[in-house]
Chain A
Amino acid sequence: MLRYFLKRLLWMIPIILAVAIVVFTLMTFCPGDPAEIILGSEATDEALEAKRVELGLRDPYFVRLARYLSDTFIHFELGTAWKTGIPIADSIKERLPRTMLLSGITLFLSFGIGVPLGVIAAVNQNRWQDSLCMILALIGVSMPNFWLALLLVILFAVKLKWLPALGIGGVKYYILPAISSSSMHIASSARQSRSSMLDVIRSDYITTARAKGVPENQVITKHALKNALIPIITMMGTQFGKMLGGAMIIETIFSIPGMGTLIITAVNNRDYPVVQTGSIFLAIVFSFSMLLVDMLYALVDPRIKAQYQRKGKMKRRAK
């Protein structure tokens, strides 16, 4: 297992490099002129051209790519944003923790509320608990998240005054944003958990466990849930990845300057360095979380663990 872990860590290097190169290349295909976006509509042609030369846009692709890769990975100079002049390292240092905190709380809610809902629904399939849990889950995915966000703000910040409506500060500023963005994920978690539990709950070994007289809640948690976890963990990983890069609507509504706003605004402004470097950081965090997901698979299911430990393709046995 340790070998597998180390191998995966090593794999992260080409991944990060690949992300850097792919994002760089994609940005060069994006229509839109960064110089004009920076200087505005009243700039003269000479000023625009001078800006383009300054930004290095007039150099050939490979020269720019080489320069970017060496600056970022060899000298660790992350540069400054073209549009605002803010050093990118500073922006990321400030924003990434906020996004990770928000994503963390959201994931916690998604797992902590969604999975139990799904399990209860599965165990009581086709009874009222099933329907109730599924209704609650579906509300989450059907209600637009900005709508839910504003409803929560009106209830908790305006009427009850328990939580702040917007801004950043302590953990309490992240509660309403996390609840708003988790509603959709809770729905996914609940439904996946339900489906996954249903897959497992009618297996022979569950029947055997019950026949042996194992108490029902142990049957559910120790036997069924453990085996149902694979799709649930997969989904958690994907959700976390999505949350990292794209909570722009929630960040805008709650005035939280996070990674979502940074990158999406930078894409819209054709601010190449910010998009490139921001993507690299997100790729690092995302790769780690995928690695964690794959390690959790092994933890939960010994059959998968065995596959990691065996080298090569699955061999054909029969002839």
Chain B
Amino acid sequence: MKKIAVILLVTIMALAFVSCSKKAETSSASSEASVQASARKDVEINVGGPTGWDTLSPFRTNVGNNIPVLSTIVYESLGYLDGSNKLVSWCAKEWKTTDNGVSYDITLYDYITDSAGNKITASDVVWFVKEACAKALKPNFKYVDSVEATGEYTLKVKFNYTLVGVFETFMIDTFVVSQAAYEKQGDDFVNSCVTTSAYKCTSFVSGATARFERRDDYWQDLSLLPAQLQPNVKVCTFHTIPEAAQLGIALETGVVDFAVQFQPSTAVQFEGNSDFTLERGESRNGMQIFFSGAEEKAVANDKYLRQAICYSINNALMINAALEGYGDEMHDSASTYALGYQDSWRTEEYYPYSVEKAKAALAKSNYNGQELVLLGSSNTKTVAEIIQNCAAAVGIKIKLNLMQTAMVTAIRLDGTQYDMFINQVGGFTLANHWNTRYDARAYKSGDATSRKDMVLADMIAEASTVNGFTTENINKVHNYIKEEAYGYGMYQPQQLTVWSNKLGIKTVVDDNIKSVVPTACVY
């Protein structure tokens, strides 16, 4: 009798297997209600993504600052990086520097108002910058030395380090918020905010949905805005759907029209489906492995061991396994998005997968069979297992230490706790990337893996300033790091977006990573 239980169980699971493996179906009766015929003004869209904003506070960390829709329609910044990654004007009309980037004079538009009618002046911006510096949530604000209003609509900001990209990041990180409105509401804009954006947030449920409606009294002349900031939809609702399969289902059933930052495991179902368009953008982060620089570690002083590991990694397998093929091989530990990335690198040989070369390098190294520890977080399990397997194939023993993020952050700067560390890092510019990872002066114990290579630190310092950021210096740093194999870029994921063709998009508008901006498309 209970044998029947097993048989029934198998049958049920088999039936489920069959029903599950059907491809994403078109639901013909999908929510037409959510996509109305597009007169330019009255389009309503639903966008779904795996992460959203927990609060609407203007003072935020970098987490969630690249989520499509939320990053452009909640708050307006001083400037915006357009489709060709150039800083263009948004709330700041113009800016100039007379001392080579140490300080900037910024002029705001003199007719900026927010949804409550408050007029924005330079003092609002100065207040915001000072608050942001004090809270230190976005790391770029640590480079602001001083900021002061020089007129009703002009301000001067001085930086303490002319790092490449500091000014651009400053312009993007500085939100334009009326100090009066913020202090009047008094709750840090947690659940509702008053902003200068063309969209007003009409409803916000933390961790679930955020609804935005275009307002009629927007202050700016639309012809002065770049294509990506055009408010072409009337209502946009953002849904936070963390479960990959559910995001796919939401797209299938029409609950959302766009799936942004789509997980590859589910996005692949929509490939080749004529009712949907799948777009591959460029990711800002890559997936890298960094070697410990702590003195006692075998990998720290053994260049050939590091190179052997780099050669042994089967990047194509990783891209297929972890990303269903939606990824590219890298040519530097920084992603192609980083400012300063040289085109010449794309054709260079960068530790391609080669068991022979790996074994040759291993022979030259001092590796004597000991077990190396690979540190990673719980969401890099697939990658870590592949590295372990590939290294074993050339004779290197690796033990995995995968932990939850909090425990990883506790030890990731301490190179004595691991031999290798998997991470996903980006960086707006190469200088950011180097400074965070390879600059021996960055932390008390050395660089991000406790390495104290002062030669490299000096090279980085020279190349990171606005004047020093030349092709020659950039290549110097790139070649040094590549030769030493301190860090290795394994693959760069593609940012996937899928949308329903029922939207009838006439012109797709992409941002600087070739990823669609749902609110700016022409419908």
Report A37-59 CB contacts with B as 1/0, cut-off 8 Å: 11111111101001100000000
Taking a contact as CB atoms under 8 Å apart, the answer to whether A135 and B4 are in contact is yes
Contacting pair B243 A253 (CB below 8 A)? yes
Asked if B455 is an interface residue, CB under 8 A from chain A, the answer is no
Question: Which of the residues B59, B243, B253 comes within 8 Å of A255, measured between beta carbons?
Answer: B243
Instruction: Verify if A203 is at the interface (C-beta below 8 Å from B).
Output: no
Distance (whole angstroms) from the CB of B75 to the closest CB of chain A: 15
Shortest distance between the CB of B135 and any CB in chain A (Å): 9
B34 CB–A CB distance under 8 Å: no
Asked if B506 lies at the interface with its beta carbon under 8 angstroms from chain A, I say: no
| A85 engages B406 (CB within 8 Å) | no
Give the residue name and chain of the B residue nearest to A165 (CB). Answer: B249
Contact A86–B249 (Cβ < 8 Å) = no
Give the nearest-CB partner of B15 in chain A.
A151
Contact with A along B356-391 (1 / 0, CB 8 A): 000000000000000000000000000000000000
- Among A41, A128, A131, A167, contact of B208 (Cβ-Cβ < 8 Å): A167
**Cβ contact within 8 Å between A157 and B4:** no
Q: How far is the CA of A33 from the CA of B414 in the complex (A)?
A: 13
* Chain A minimum-CB-distance residue to B246: A166
Contact call A43/B255, Cβ cutoff below 8 A: no
CA–CA, A225 and B246, complex, Å: 42
Give Cα A52–Cα B91 distance, bound, in whole angstroms. Answer: 35
Check B19 against A257 for contact (C-beta < 8 Å). Answer: no
Binds A, one of B77-85, B136-144, B508-516: B136-144
The distance in angstroms between the C-alpha atoms of A91 and B188, with both chains bound, is 15
CB-based contact A40/B407 at 8 Å = no
Q: Which residues in chain A, 122-138, are within 8 Å of chain B measured between CB atoms?
A: 128, 131, 134-135, 138
Tell whether, in the assembled complex, residue B8 and residue A84 are in contact, meaning their CB atoms are under 8 Å apart.
no
**A135-B55 in contact (CB<8A):** no
Q: How far is the CB of B380 from chain A (nearest CB, A)?
A: 15
Taking CB atoms, residues of chain B closer than 8 Å to A270 are 406
| B249 pairs with A154, CB closer than 8 A | yes
Picked from A36, A42, A135, A151, the residue with its CB within 8 Å of the CB of B436 is A42
**Do B239 and A32 touch (CB < 8 A)?**
no
How far, in Å, is A123 (CB) from chain B's closest CB?
Answer: 17
Given contact pairs A84-B54, A135-B5, A153-B246, A165 touches B255 in the complex (Cβ within 8 A):
yes
Q: Is A145 an interface residue (CB 8 A)?
A: no
Report B389-410 residues with CB < 8 Å from chain A CB.
404-407, 409-410
Alpha-carbon distance between A94 and B207 when the two chains are bound, in angstroms: 11
- Is A112 positioned at the interface, with any CB of B under 8 Å from its CB? no
Docked-complex contact B62 and A40, CB < 8 angstroms: yes
Q: Are B246 and A90 in contact (CB under 8 A)?
A: no
Smallest Cβ-Cβ distance to A81: which chain B residue:
B54
Pick from A40, A43, A139, A167: contact of B12, CB under 8 Å: A139
B9 within 8 A of A: yes
Closest-by-CB residue of B relative to A42 is B139
B444 interface hit (Cβ, 8 Å): yes
| Residue from the list B239, B243, B253, B406 in contact with A157, Cβ < 8 A | B253
- B-facing mask of A154-167, CB < 8 A → 1, else 0? 11011001001111
Instruction: Decide if A255 touches B239 in the complex (CB within 8 Å).
Output: yes
Q: Is A167 touching B54 in the complex (CB atoms < 8 A)?
A: no
Q: Would you give the shortest CB distance from A110 to chain B, in whole angstroms?
A: 20
Within 8 A of B (CB), among A156-189: 157-158, 161, 164-168
B443's partner among A45, A134, A154, A252 (CB-CB below 8 A) is: A45
Q: Are B249 and A135 in contact (CB under 8 A)?
A: no
Tell me if A36 and B252 are in contact (CB < 8 A): no
Are A36 and B409 in contact (CB-based, < 8 A)?
A: yes
Question: Beyond A40-B139, A45-B444, A165-B246, is A255–B241 a contact (Cβ under 8 Å)?
Answer: yes
Chain B residues whose CB sits within 8 angstroms of the CB of A268 once the complex forms: 404-406
Binary CB contact string for chain A from 193 to 213 against chain B (1 if under 8 A, 0 otherwise): 000000000000000000000
Q: Tell me the minimal C-beta distance from A29 to chain B in angstroms.
A: 13
Contact partner of A167 among B27, B206, B209, B412, CB < 8 A? B209
Q: Which residue of B lies closest to A131 (CB)?
A: B1
Cβ–Cβ contact A32 & B252, under 8 A? no
Q: Is B505 an interface residue (CB 8 A)?
A: no
* B242 and A252 form a contact (CB under 8 A): yes
- Take A31-B407, A257-B205 as given contacts and tell me if A154 and B20 are in contact as well, using a CB distance cutoff of 8 Å: yes
- With A47-B136, A255-B242 as contacts: A32 and B407 at CB distance below 8 Å: yes
Give the CA-CA distance A261 to B51 in the complex, in Å.
13
Q: Which residue of A lies closest to B445 (CB)?
A: A45
**Contact pick for B27, options A36, A50, A134, A158, CB 8 Å:** A158
B269 CB, nearest partner CB in chain A, Å? 13
- The complex places the Cα of A146 from the Cα of B475 at a distance, in Å, of 49
Is the CB–CB distance between B190 and A253 below 8 Å?
Answer: no
Residues of A within 8 Å of B497, CB to CB, are none
Minimum CB–CB distance from A158 to chain B (whole Å) comes to: 6
* A43 to B62 CA separation, bound complex (whole angstroms): 11
Q: How far is the CB of B248 from chain A (nearest CB, A)?
A: 10
Contact partners of B283 in chain A: CB under 8 A: none
The answer to the question of A113 belonging to the interface, with a C-beta cut-off of 8 Å to chain B, is no
**Contact, CB under 8 Å: B252 / A158:** yes
Shortest CB distance A167–B (Å): 7
A240 within 8 A of B: no
- State whether the Cβ of A68 lies closer than 8 Å to any Cβ in chain B: no
Given the known interface contacts A37-B406, A158-B253, A268-B405, the answer about A168 and B205 at a Cβ–Cβ threshold of 8 Å is yes
A151→B12 CA distance, assembly (Å): 11
Q: How far is the CA of A168 from the CA of B136 in the complex (A)?
A: 34
- What residues of A have a CB within 8 angstroms of the CB of B16 in the complex? 147, 151
> Are B136's CB and A33's CB within 8 A?
no
**Shortest CB–CB separation between residue A44 and chain B, in angstroms?**
6
Query: Is B61 interfacial (CB 8 A cutoff)?
Result: yes
A97 at the B interface (CB under 8 A): no
A85 lies within 8 A of B55 (CB): yes
- B454 at the A interface (CB under 8 A): no
B178 shortest CB reach to chain A, Å: 19
- B142–A44 touching, CB < 8 Å: yes
> Is the CB–CB distance between A165 and B253 below 8 Å?
yes
Task: Indicate if A142 sits at the interface (CB-CB under 8 A).
Answer: yes
Q: Is A150 an interface residue (CB 8 A)?
A: yes
- Nearest CB to that of A147 among chain B residues? B16
Interface CB pairs A-B, < 8 A, 16: A38-B137, A39-B139, A41-B436, A44-B139, A44-B142, A50-B136, A84-B54, A139-B8, A143-B13, A158-B249, A158-B252, A161-B29, A166-B250, A166-B255, A255-B243, A269-B406
Given contacts A90-B191, A94-B205, 11 further A-B contacts (CB under 8 A): A39-B136, A41-B409, A51-B136, A139-B8, A150-B20, A154-B19, A161-B29, A165-B253, A166-B241, A252-B242, A253-B245
